[in-house]
Chain A
Amino acid sequence: MNVEEMDFKNQLFDLESERRVISSMLHSEDACIEAYNSLQVTDFYSPQHGTVFELTSSLYEREIRPTYVELIKEAHTLGMLTNSRDIEDLKYIAEHYIDDGNIKYWIKKVRDKSRLRKFESFLRKSYQMLQEDIDQDVEQILMSAEEELTNMTALEIDDHVDTPGDLAKLGYEEVERRFLRYKDIKELHQGVIPLDGLPTGFYNLNKVTLGYKPGDLIILGAQTGHGKTSFALHTANAVAIRSKKNLLYLNTEMSRPQIALRWGSILSGIEHERVRSGEINESELSRILHGYSQLEDSGFYSYPCPNLTPEKTISIARKFKAQKQIDMMIIDYIGRMDKQDSRLQEWQVLEQIVKTQKMLAQNLQIVVMCLVQLNPDGSLQGAKRMKNECDLMLKLSPIPKEELEESEELKKFDTMPNYAIFIDKNRDGQSGIRIPIYFDLQRQIMKDVKRVTI
């Protein structure tokens, strides 16, 4: 290899950036989440760096904070550290400190070099192909080169373009799946529709939506004191406790003891006020204990976070997706999130948050439910924009007193409903529907109501 070629080769990697990324992963959890989600082993030029990245990522996936010490232990256990030279190499990498806030800059440098290497390999391959077989169909050569190049430039790793064949195949599979499911409904489930996604906790809402599906963004609006948190915990009960799916609950308002006490009441069916004050007898105490044992076995992960920002939700969601394989995240509630830019109007901030959450749901293939506050007149600030972004928009409100007294319709249920869920938007099905429910305020429990007379 001549000097020029050597110089060119040196442009294709940046070992310093690779070391800085790994060093930052070892010293900051946020940096670790960012790098884990943005890079792959193959993005590292140095095989040694790739191995250290792989070890660090594997620790992180097992919920072990990948510190330098943990890395040494892991490498030692795997027999990868045999002499002091290995330790010196590791130390050299670890000592490439950066300001953790700059991690994205260093990740980009590593990725860019990785893409450049892929491009170089593409050029080499193409040149070699031309040399070997000059009589090939030129059109074919250029087309296949163009396709490869487009994949390298325009498309990210996760992007996927459907060919007509792909789409037809997908369509057929979807219809076939639904056909078989319909048969199942008739034969096995005796008319009860199985869900496509996670249970909503309400029979009628399940029926209309077929469950919350991965990639869905759900917005639930309610006025202050009208049961936003109760709805969130009711959903969590259906998903994480009864269905044992993993769910992350981000709360911006309540403390850890407040959330824990709410569960005591919900799972035991004892009035919240009495649980809070401790005014209970021994048999009720044992009922509460039983309730908490259900919580213990569930997939409910709680993260009280008073200073939540959209950026923070991304990193927390990524972390829990990698480590706990969550299927759903609930944000209670987005009006309390910190503004990143104080010049923005309230509705602009909400719009930004909702857009971020939709992308997050799609990228991680989880359900994201955002709780928002309705204005006193029942409207929602920035509602139109939010509605555009979300897949399902629900509004929760008490049924007005006059309606409760006068409506004959409401008297046809086994329990007199006092609340209603209004389906304002439903991308996959019917909307404009009002589902009456019963909300036991004292026990913080929401229930379906069954129509008993026609």
Chain B
Amino acid sequence: MATKDIRLKKLYDSMGSMISNLHLQKGKLSHEEMYCLLSVLDYTLMGKSDTNFIALLREWQASELEPEINEIIKATLMSVDFKKPASVIKNMEIIRGLIRYNNELKDS
């Protein structure tokens, strides 16, 4: 088996365990937050997503957002049904719009 393949599988499994532990052991994630992060992990690492989704998550993390907008984006992400491509596309658009809106606020 290719080393890269194993590394990817290891990364995926370790991330999955870490997310679950943050809920079970440390109580740092709510049940819903854990589910959402596990779904994001599956979506991004199991070959289901396009690069746009990952780029958007990076953009979100890199942006200096108003706390309220940040919360709305988080809530939007948690409402995504990752099994339905239409839901992913629709909510990606909303998140993109919110980041744009935040940037406009900062510029004005």
Binding site for B on A (CB under 8 A): 27, 65, 67-70, 72-73, 76, 81-84, 86-88, 90-91, 94-95, 97-99
Residues 20-45 of B, flagged 1 when their CB comes within 8 A of A and 0 if not, give 11001100000000110011011000
| Pairwise interchain contact B6-A97, C-beta atoms closer than 8 A | yes
Known A-B contacts A94-B13, A97-B6; the reply to A84 vs B42 at CB < 8 A is no
| Pairwise interchain contact B24-A82, C-beta atoms closer than 8 A | yes
* B1 within 8 Å of A (CB atoms): yes
Binding site for A on B (CB under 8 A): 1, 6, 9-10, 12-14, 16-17, 20-21, 24-25, 34-35, 38-39, 41-42, 46
Looking at A86, A90, A91, the one whose CB has the most chain B CB atoms below 10 A away is A91
What 11 additional pairs, Cβ within 8 angstroms, besides A67-B46, A68-B13? A27-B9, A68-B16, A69-B38, A72-B16, A72-B38, A81-B24, A83-B24, A84-B21, A91-B14, A91-B17, A95-B9
| Pairwise interchain contact B1-A97, C-beta atoms closer than 8 A | yes
Chain A residue at minimal CB-CB distance from B22: A84
| Pairwise interchain contact B24-A69, C-beta atoms closer than 8 A | no
One of B1, B17, B24, B25 near A98 (C-beta < 8 A) = B1
Expressed in whole angstroms, the Cα–Cα distance for A87 and B22 within the complex equals 11
Expressed in whole angstroms, the Cα–Cα distance for A97 and B6 within the complex equals 7
Known A-B contacts A65-B46, A91-B13, A97-B6; the reply to A73 vs B24 at CB < 8 A is no
| Pairwise interchain contact B24-A84, C-beta atoms closer than 8 A | yes
Top 6 closest pairs, chain A to chain B, by CB: A84-B25, A69-B42, A91-B17, A99-B1, A69-B38, A94-B13
Chain B residue numbers with a CB within 8 Å of A88 are: 17
One of B1, B17, B35 near A90 (C-beta < 8 A) = B17
Chain B residue numbers with a CB within 8 Å of A69 are: 12, 16, 38-39, 41-42, 46
Chain A residue numbers with a CB within 8 Å of B14 are: 91
Smallest beta-carbon distance A293→chain B, Å: 20
Expressed in whole angstroms, the Cα–Cα distance for A67 and B83 within the complex equals 13
Smallest beta-carbon distance A99→chain B, Å: 4
Chain B residue at minimal CB-CB distance from A95: B13
Smallest beta-carbon distance B61→chain A, Å: 21
Chain B residue numbers with a CB within 8 Å of A86 are: 24
| Pairwise interchain contact B10-A95, C-beta atoms closer than 8 A | yes
Expressed in whole angstroms, the Cα–Cα distance for A69 and B34 within the complex equals 11
Chain B residue numbers with a CB within 8 Å of A99 are: 1
Chain B residue at minimal CB-CB distance from A82: B24
Smallest beta-carbon distance B22→chain A, Å: 10
Smallest beta-carbon distance A236→chain B, Å: 27
Chain B residue numbers with a CB within 8 Å of A67 are: 42, 46
Chain B residue at minimal CB-CB distance from A91: B17
Chain A residue numbers with a CB within 8 Å of B46 are: 65, 67, 69
Chain A residue numbers with a CB within 8 Å of B35 are: 73
Expressed in whole angstroms, the Cα–Cα distance for A73 and B41 within the complex equals 12
| Pairwise interchain contact A97-B17, C-beta atoms closer than 8 A | no
Chain A residue numbers with a CB within 8 Å of B13 are: 68, 91, 94-95
Chain A residue numbers with a CB within 8 Å of B41 are: 69
| Pairwise interchain contact B38-A87, C-beta atoms closer than 8 A | no
| Pairwise interchain contact B25-A83, C-beta atoms closer than 8 A | yes
Expressed in whole angstroms, the Cα–Cα distance for A94 and B39 within the complex equals 18
| Pairwise interchain contact B10-A81, C-beta atoms closer than 8 A | no
Chain A residue at minimal CB-CB distance from B14: A91
Expressed in whole angstroms, the Cα–Cα distance for A47 and B39 within the complex equals 28
Smallest beta-carbon distance B47→chain A, Å: 10
| Pairwise interchain contact A76-B20, C-beta atoms closer than 8 A | yes
Expressed in whole angstroms, the Cα–Cα distance for A91 and B46 within the complex equals 17
Chain B residue numbers with a CB within 8 Å of A87 are: 17, 20-21, 24
Smallest beta-carbon distance A100→chain B, Å: 8
Known A-B contacts A67-B46, A68-B16, A69-B39; the reply to A97 vs B21 at CB < 8 A is no
| Pairwise interchain contact A70-B24, C-beta atoms closer than 8 A | no
Chain B residue numbers with a CB within 8 Å of A65 are: 46
Chain B residue numbers with a CB within 8 Å of A84 are: 20-21, 24-25
Chain A residue numbers with a CB within 8 Å of B6 are: 97
Q: List 18 A-B contacts (CB under 8 A).
A: A67-B42, A69-B38, A70-B42, A72-B38, A73-B35, A81-B20, A82-B24, A83-B24, A84-B24, A84-B25, A87-B17, A87-B24, A88-B17, A91-B14, A91-B16, A94-B13, A95-B13, A98-B1
